[in-house]
Structure 1
Amino acid sequence: MMTPMMNTQLTITSLMKHAEQINGAVEVVSVTADNPCHRYTYREAFGRVRQLANVLAELGLEPGDTIATFAWNDYRHLEIYYAVSCSGMICHTINPRLFPEQIEYIVNHGRDKWIFLDLTMVPLLESLQHLMPDVKGFVVMTDEAHMPESKLNNAHCYETLVAAQPAEFDWPELDENTPSALCYTSGTTGNPKGVLYTHRSTLLHCYASIAPDVFGLSIKDVALPIVPMFHVNGWGLVYSAPMVGAKLVMPGPKMGCGETLCKLINEEKVTVSAGVPTVWLALLNYLKKSGNSVESLNRFTVGGAACPFMIFDEFRQKYGVDVQQGWGMTEMNPLGTFNGNASSTVNALPADQYDKMRLKQGRPVFGVEMKIVDADGKSLPWDGKSAGAVKVRGPWIINEYYRYDGQTLDNDGWFETGDVASIDEYGYMQITDRVKDVIKSGGEWISSIELENCAVNHPKVAEAAVVGMPHPTWSERPLLLVILHEGESLSREEMLSWFDGKVAKWWIPEECLFVTSLPHTATGKLSKKDIRAEYADFRWPEQ
C-alpha cells in the first residue's frame, strides 16, 4: 500500500531554502577578527552560501569529501556550515584548543581535504601543516586587506574566492541520511572518536530543540550562541535560529569576554543565549564590577558542565534572567535532557526544593529514550534516589563511531553515556558523576560533581575540583582542590566546615589543598585524569 503522505526528505538544504524565503530579512550580526561588527541578513548570507558552494566545486571537491574548519562563531563559519553540507559534503568542525597531537590525529582520521581557518588560527596551522599530508590547501577566513603573509601551503583568501563566483548554484538532491557534519569527542581516554551527523538527525534535533519546553526559540528572539560552533554544532543554534527566524548575534573570538558579551546583549537586544558555566561566570563578574545590566536577556542555557547554584541564583535575583540547564553529549547531537519550563506541581514546591529541582539536568526531550541501570545492567527505578549508568537511544543519537572498529552500542542497541545519574518521579535527571570519576568509599558512591558545586558556592572560592584518592581504610576518599578568588584567604578547616549540613557527613572531603591552577580539557572541563596523575603521590595526613 502506498503511503498517504508525501515522503519529502529532511535536509539542511530545505531548512536553508525556507530560511531564505520566509526569514530572509532577519539579521545576522557578527564579531570577527577583521571586523568588530559585521551585519547582514539571512537572504544575503544564503546568497553568499551559493557563491561558496561554487568555490568548493572549483576547488575540485566532491560529495562525500570532508572539509575542516578552525573557526569561531561568525558569519563566515555559518556560510561554510551550509555550503559544505548542502553540497553533499561533510563539515568537520575542529576545536583549536585541542592538543597538537589530537588535532593531527583528527584531521588525518577525518580525511580532511581542505581546511578553512579563522585569521587568528594561521600560526597554529602553520605549525601543524607538515603533519597533514592529505590536506590540499587552506582558505583563510578574511578579506584581502587583512590577508596575512603566511607559510601555509596553497593558501587562499576567503573573500577573494567568494567574490569571483556567481550567486546561483544548483543544489544536489540529497537523501536525508547523507552525512552532513563530523565532530570528534574530546578524547579523555585514548584517541578522540568521530561522530558523523546526518541531514535527518540534524533536522529532527532542530525540531526538538525549538519546542517551548526546550530552547523555546521563535521569531521574536534574538539569539546569542556563545557555545562554540566547533562544539557539537553550537548545540544546533545555527540551524534552529534560521529555521524559526530568530536574529543571530555571533561573538566570534570574543566569546569569553564579559565586556563584549554585555555590549552585544545590550546593543542587539539579545533575549536568549547558551554557553558553558565559565562563560556565565565571566559575564557575571563583569556585571558586578561595571554595574551594568542585561535588560533584554530573558533566559540562557547552561550546558557542558553542572551549573553552580551561585550562577543560577545571582542571575535570577539580581538581573531577572532565567537560567536553564541542558544535558547531552557529542554522541547525542547533543540534546538529551532540558530543564526549562516547570510544571505547576514543581512550581508549587517550597523554595528550597524548587531550587534543587531547577539545578537538575532536566527531563528527557521527546526523541530521547533513557534509562539508568545497575552494574548488572538491570533498570533502576525513577525514584530520585537510585543512581546508575545512563543509557540512551533515539533518532539523533550515534549508531556507530566514524571509522571505528570497536563496539559503540550495547547488545540491546542502547548507547552508554558514561554518566551516572538518578531520575526522580517527575522525570528530572540529575547527573551525580562520570562513571570513571565517581568516588567509591566504603562500598558507597560519592558524587564529585555535587561536592564541587557545593565548594564553588562559597563566596571566596573561584574554582574547585574533587577526585577520589586511594585510602587504606575506605578504598577511596575525596580530595578537594580549591582556587580562591584573588585577594581572598581561607583556612583548610573553614573550607571543610562549609560542607556541614550541605552534604552527608561521610561525603565531606578528607583533605583540602589550595592551588593556583587546575588542568582543563580543550572544551574547558576539569581534567580529572590529569588531576589524578598530578597527585598520584598524594598521601593522607594520617598515613
Structure 2
Amino acid sequence: MQGLMQDWPLTVDKILNHAQAWHGDREVVSRSVEGPIVRTTYAQIHERAKRVSNVLIGLGMQPGDRVATLAWNTGRHIEAWYGIMGIGAVCHTLNPRLFAEQLVYIINHAEDKVILTDLTFLPILAGIRDQIPGVKHIIVLSDEANLGDQLPGALAYETLIAEASSDAKWGGFDENTAAGLCYTSGTTGNPKGVLYSHRSNFIHTLVTMGSDVLGIKATDTVLPVVPMFHANAWGLAFSAPAVGAKLVMPGQKLDGASVHELLESEGVTFSAAVPTVWQMLLQHLRASKGKLTTLKRVVIGGSAVPESIVRGFRDEFGVDVTHAWGMTETSPLGTQATPNAAIEQMDPEAQLQFKLKQGRPPLGIQLKLVDDEDKDLPHDGHTFGRLKVSGPFVVGQYFKAEGGKILDDEGYFDTGDVATLDEHGFMQITDRAKDVIKSGGEWISSIEIENLAAGHPKAELAAVIGVAHPKWDERPLLLVKLKAGEAAAKEEFLQFLDGKIAKWWMPDDVAFVDDIPLGATGKIDKKLIRDRMKDYVLPTAAAGGSAALAMSPEPKIYAPEPAPAPVAHHDHDDDGAWLHWTPGPDQTLDRTRAEPAEGEAPADAVRPFRRS
C-alpha cells in the first residue's frame, strides 16, 4: 500500500519561488565585479532569473543542455543559476583557478553550449576560445559599456535581460532531472564530472538547513565566501533563499580587509569559507585592531581547520567555529562538528578537541571505515581506515561513466580519504589514501605532522610527504616555508615535534622551501611536491636506517594523542605556485625551468629556484 500524499517534485526552482513568495523583500547584496555595492531582493532575483531562462531558450537551449558559469559570488550569478536550472538545463560551474588546459578539457567534456562569465575572466576565455568550438555563445555578466573588445562576439548580459520577458515556465519535469554539473579538481588523471539532480540538491538543502548542520534561519545575514564554483558554495545559494536569510555576496575581493568591511557594514551573522580566508581575516583584525560586532558563527571546510583559528575566533572575538567536511561527490556537506549532548557537557577545552575533527554525519549520510581488504573497522577514534560514504546526495556514477563502477557492493563510495571514527560518531580525516605514508607496514598521517609543524612560531606553512626508503618503504619528509625574515635549523622543528607524535612518526629530514604549492581549491598540492622532490634522497636512506625506527612500531595503528598546547597554523593564498627548496650541503638540485605539466602553475607563477 502506498501513501496518499501529493506528488510534489523536489525541483530547485521551488526554492527561489518560495523566497520570492514569502521573503521577496529580503536583500541580496553584492560587491559587483565593476566595483560598487549592488542591492537587490529575492523578488527581483526571481524576476531576472526568469528573464535569463527566456534568454537561454532564445539561444536554443533545451532541457539537458549544459550551460556553464565562470563567475564570482554575486546576485547575477544566482540569477544565472536559477535561470538555467529552472528550464531543465544543467548549470555547470567552472573553477577559474584551474589551468587553461583543464578548463578546455572540462568545457569540451561537458559539451557546454553557452558560458556566462564575469569581466574578470574574459582574458582566460579569449585565450582558449578557439579550443572550445562547442560553445556557441559567451554572455558577459555586465553591460555594454563594460564589454570592451577582449572577446569578439560576446553578448552583454544586461542588454539580453532587458530585452527578455519575465514570463517563463519553470519546473514540470521529473525531480531526478539533472540540475548541476561540477568537476573534481583532477589531482589524479582528468577531472571527473559529478552530475547533481534536482532531487539531490533539494534534499541536501533540507539537510543543511538543520540546526545541527548550517542552521541558518530567516533572521540571519549570510556571507558565503566559499565560491559558488567550489562545490556549490556548500549549498548556501540554495539554503539561504530557502529560509529567507539576507545574502551578502563578496564578489572577487576575498582579502581580510574586504571581508571585514562586508561583515560589519551588512551586519553578517553567519559565514563560510576555507581556512585561508579566515587566517587572512584574523591577521587583518589583529593588525587593524578591528572588531566583529555581529558575526556569531562561521563554518570552515576545504582542509583541516587549524586550532589557532578556532581559538582566535572564540577567545578574541566571541565567534563560534564549526568544522565541516565534504567533497564535490557529496554535494558537498558530509559531516559537521556540531556537539552532541555528551560533548556539550564537557568543558570548553575538551570540546575543542572535537571541534578540530571533521564531525558527525547528518541524517541522509552514512559512513563506514574499512581496511585494505574491505572489512569493517571499529569506531574507537584510533583505528585508521578508508572512509566510505553513501546517501541520497552522494555520487553514484561519474558523468559519462568516467572511471566505471565507483560504488562497492553495498552502495558505498570510496572517498579516497583515510580517517578515524570515534564512539560519538565524530570522523577525523588523517590523510588522503594517496598521501598516507606507509612505513614498515604501518601508516603515518602526513596531515597530523604538518598541522603540528605549522604551529612552530617560525613556520608559515608546512607539508609532509613520504619519500622512498630502502628498509622501511617510505619515511616522512617535512617541508617548511618559514615566515619572512626567519631562519631555522631542522633540529628546531624535530625538537618541536618531540612528544607530540609517536617516535616512529618523526620525520627523517626537514627541508626548508621558498614556497609550498596549493591547488585550485586551496589545498596543498602533494602531487606536485612529490614530483618536484622525486630525486630527493633521505639522509637515513644513505645511512642505511633511521634511529627513530630502532623500535618496531606497534602492531595496531594509532593516531597520536592531541597536542596539549595550542597549534598555530598559517595558511597561504590559493593561487598556486611551484615548489622551491634550498638543497643542503650534501645535495644538489639541477632543475631548469620548463613548461608546466598537468596540474602545475602557469609560467607567470614560477620563480627561479633559490640555490645555496
TM bucket, shorter chain: over 0.9
**Paired residue for 1:310, among 303, 308, 332?**
308
Match of 1:165 in 2: 164
Shift of 1:149: 1.4
Q: 1: distance between equivalents of 2:174 and 2:344? A: 44
- Give CA-to-partner distance per residue, 1:423-466, whole Å, 9 cap, x none: 00010001110100001112211111111111122232211110
What residue identity is the alignment partner of 2:366?
Answer: E
Verify: 1:270 aligned to 2:261, yes or no.
no
Quick check: 1:155 aligned with 2:154? yes
Write the letter of the residue equivalent to 1:41: T
Partner of 2:9: 9
Q: Which residue of 2 aligns with 1:383?
A: 380
Q: TM-score, length-normalised on structure 1? A: 0.97
Indicate which of 364, 369, 377 corresponds to 1:367: 364
Q: CA-to-partner distance for each residue in 1:508-535, whole Å, 9 max, x for gaps?
A: 2111111111122111111101101100
Once the two structures are overlaid, the 10-residue window that deviates more, 330-339 or 168-177, is 168-177
- Cα shift readout 1:124-179 (whole Å, capped 9, x = no counterpart): 00000111011101101111221121234x31001010011122222241211010
**Secondary structure of 2:91 counterpart:** strand
What one-letter code is carried by the residue in structure 2 that aligns with 1:97?
Answer: R
Structure 1 residues 350 and 171: CA distance shift in structure 2, 3 A: closer
Distance 2:423 2:138 in 1: 53
Counterpart of 2:407 in structure 1 is 409
| Corresponding residue of 1:253 | 252
**SS at the partner of 2:515?**
coil
1:457 aligns with: 455
C-alpha deviation, 1:350, in angstroms: 5.0
Tell me if the contact between 2:365 and 2:391 (Cα under 8 Å) persists in the aligned partners: yes
Out of 460, 485, 488, the residue aligned to residue 483 of structure 2 is 485
Give the corresponding residue for 2:125. Answer: 125
Partners of 2:248 and 2:91 in 1: CA distance: 21
| 1:67 pairs with 2:64 | no
1:148 and 1:508 mapped to 2: Cα distance?
A: 57
- Distance (Å, rounded) in 2 between the aligned partners of 1:114 and 1:347: 49
AA at the equivalent of 2:380: D
Q: Residues 367 and 390 of structure 2 are in contact (CA less than 8 Å); yes or no, is this contact kept in structure 1?
A: yes
Distance (whole Å) between structure 2 residues aligned to residue 78 and residue 22 of structure 1: 18
One-letter code aligned to 1:535: M
Letter in 2 for 1:365: P
Contact 1:308 1:456 in 2 (8 A): no
- Mean Cα displacement is larger for which, 460-469 or 233-242? 460-469
Contact 1:422 1:430 survives alignment (8 Å)? yes
Number of aligned residue pairs: 540
Aligned equivalent of 2:351: 354
Deviation at 1:392, TM superposition (A): 0.8
Aligned residue number for residue 32 of structure 1: 32
CA distance, structure 2, for counterparts of residue 307 and residue 209 of structure 1: 20
Moved more, 2-11 or 209-218: 2-11
For the residues of structure 2 that align with 1:293 and 1:490, how far apart are their CA atoms?
34
Q: Measure how far apart 1:221 and its partner are.
A: 0.7
Root mean square deviation, CA, Å: 1.2
Q: Which runs of 5+ in 2 are unaligned?
A: 543-612
After superposing the two structures, state which structure 1 stretch, 32-41 or 191-200, moved more: 32-41
Measure, in 2, the Cα distance between the counterparts of 1:49 and 1:228.
19
Amino acid at match of 1:369: Q
Residue 511 of structure 1 corresponds to: 509
Counterpart of 2:328 in structure 1 is 330
Structure 1 portions without partners, runs of 5+: none
Q: Which residue does the alignment assign to 1:293?
A: 291
Aligned residue number for residue 215 of structure 2 = 216
Structure 2 residue identity aligned to 1:158: Y
How far apart are the structure 2 equivalents of 1:100 and 1:5?
Answer: 50
Partner Cα distance (1:267, 1:14) in 2: 31
State the Cα distance separating 1:211 from its structure 2 match: 0.5
Structure 2 contact 13–171 (Cα < 8 Å) conserved: no
Q: Is the 8 A contact 2:69 2:117 kept in 1?
A: yes
- For residue 57 of structure 1, what is the aligned residue in structure 2? 57
Q: Does 1:175 align with 2:185?
A: no
Shift of 1:419: 0.4
Aligned AA (1:470):
A
Asked whether the 8 Å contact 2:508–2:539 carries over to 1, the reply is no
Once residues 205 and 463 of structure 2 are traced to their aligned partners in structure 1, the CA distance between those partners, rounded to angstroms, is: 34
Decide whether the 8 Å contact of 2:73 with 2:227 is kept in 1.
yes
Corresponding residue for residue 443 of structure 1: 441
Q: What is the CA–CA distance in structure 2 between the aligned matches of 1:160 and 1:436, rounded to whole Å?
A: 49
Q: Which portions of structure 1, spanning 4 or more consecutive aligned residues, are displaced by more than 6 angstroms?
A: none
> Counterparts of 1:60 and 1:181 in 2: how far apart (Å)?
19
Given that 2:16 and 2:42 are in contact with CA atoms closer than 8 Å, whether structure 1 keeps it comes out as: no
Q: Which residue of 1 aligns with 2:114?
A: 114
| Preserved contact between residue 274 and residue 301 of structure 1 (Cα < 8 Å) | yes
Conservation of the 8 A alpha-carbon contact between 2:116 and 2:140: yes
Percentage of identical aligned residues = 49
Aligned equivalents of 2:245, 2:75: Cα separation in 1 = 15
TM superposition score normalised by structure 2: 0.87
Deviation at 1:344, TM superposition (A): 3.8
Q: Report the alpha carbon displacement of residue 96 of structure 1 after superposing the two structures with TM.
A: 0.8
Amino acid at match of 2:353: K
